[in-house]
Amino acid sequence: MDILGNGLLLKRVLKAGNGHMTRPTHGQRVALKTEGKLENGTIIDKNDRIEFVVGDGDVISAWDIAVALMDENEIAELRCDAKYAYGSLGRSPEIPGNATITYTLALIGKEDGPDYNFMSIDERIYHGSLKKERGNYLFSRSDYRGAINSYLKAISIIDNENVSFEEPPKKLQQLLEDKIKCYNNLAAAQLKADYYDAAIKSCEGVLKHHPENVKALFRMGKAYAAKGETKEAIMQMKKALKLEPETKIIHQELSKLTKKLTKETQSERNMYKKMFRTTKTPVKPSVEHSRWKWPVIAGSLAVVLLSVGVAYFRYRQH
């Protein structure tokens, strides 16, 4: 089976399972037995039992996609391109970059996934931290979309309306600090993925609780700059600089933005000058115009003199 229709993720059933009705769904916890093989024969990712929640992005995307198409107790062969495994970076030391991997997967169990709505505050802190660390790992591998997914999942666990404010203040404070870290990391990943409006909203999520968070102010400034809103970007950078006047990178960004604004302002002035210019270049009379101009003047003068002479003659007659 060509799962995605692009030839990069191929599945072949080795042993049939218990039927399509037993396939896991998004949000369920599954258990897999796994063994991978590189093209040179090296065995990797050998696990008698590994558990994860379908759709949470906690394993390579090849497994996450394929397991939803497996029946319980099915054994399948999965050949996956590096894009759906370990990418161009590989995994040191045994998996080189751009490695194609063939897995043998067995779906040995499934159950309902965790219900984050009814977790204790300690469970929220624990599971939220796991999702955040997964996001950090994916970010380090330049998988920014995967990182965004993990950070959003962490926030949904931590920032839940069912958290009771009667919990110990220390625990609530830890939950808030974790939430701020996740939003900040989310903004960084969104900037890398060119999701500038989303990055601004994530920064606002931080500043709502911590108005003087320098990372959030800086990243918001970067997002506005990328959108071409230079004045707003400068405003955010100045706030960050006021809080950390010794940070060189803020100085550098603010300097670049100030120069950019100067150029933009000058360009606008030049444009307005062209639009509202009123000075006209004087027109030099042509040679032909001069040729007929003087005879006309002479003729007019002669008529005037003649009129004066006639008037004088009549006056003398009287």
Averaged pLDDT for residues 99-121: 93
pLDDT of 311 reads 47
pLDDT band at 167 (very low <50, low <70, confident <90, very high): confident
pLDDT of 264 reads 77
* Amino acid code (one letter) for 154: A
What is the Cα–Cα distance from 13 to 26, expressed in whole angstroms?
21
For 130-157, the pLDDT digits (tens) are 999 999 999 999 999 999 999 999 999 9
Question: What kind of fold does domain 117-267 have according to CATH?
Answer: 1.25.40
For 2-60, the pLDDT digits (tens) are 999 999 999 999 999 999 999 999 999 999 999 999 999 999 999 999 999 999 999 99
Per residue, the 3-state secondary structure of the chain, as one string, reads CECCCCCCEEEEEEECCCCHHHCCCCCCEEEEEEEEEECCCCEEEEEEEEEEECCCCCCCHHHHHHHCCCCCCCEEEEEECHHHCCCCCCECCCECCCCCEEEEEEEEEEECCCCHHHCCHHHHHHHHHHHHHHHHHHHHCCCHHHHHHHHHHHHHHHCCCCCCCCCCHHHHHHHHHHHHHHHHHHHHHHHHCCCHHHHHHHHHHHHCCCCCCHHHHHHHHHHHHHCCCHHHHHHHHHHHHHHCCCCHHHHHHHHHHHHHHHHHHHHHHHHHHHHCCCCCCCCCCCHHHHHHHHHHHHHHHHHHHHHHHHHHHHHHHC
Residue with tokens 């309306």: 161
The yes or no reply on domain 9-113 and CATH 3.10.50.40 is yes
pLDDT of 310 reads 45
pLDDT of 285 reads 54
117 vs 153, residue with greater confidence = 153
* Model confidence at 286: pLDDT above 60: no
Where exactly are the structural domains of the chain?
A: 9-113, 117-267
Q: What is the mean pLDDT of the chain?
A: 88
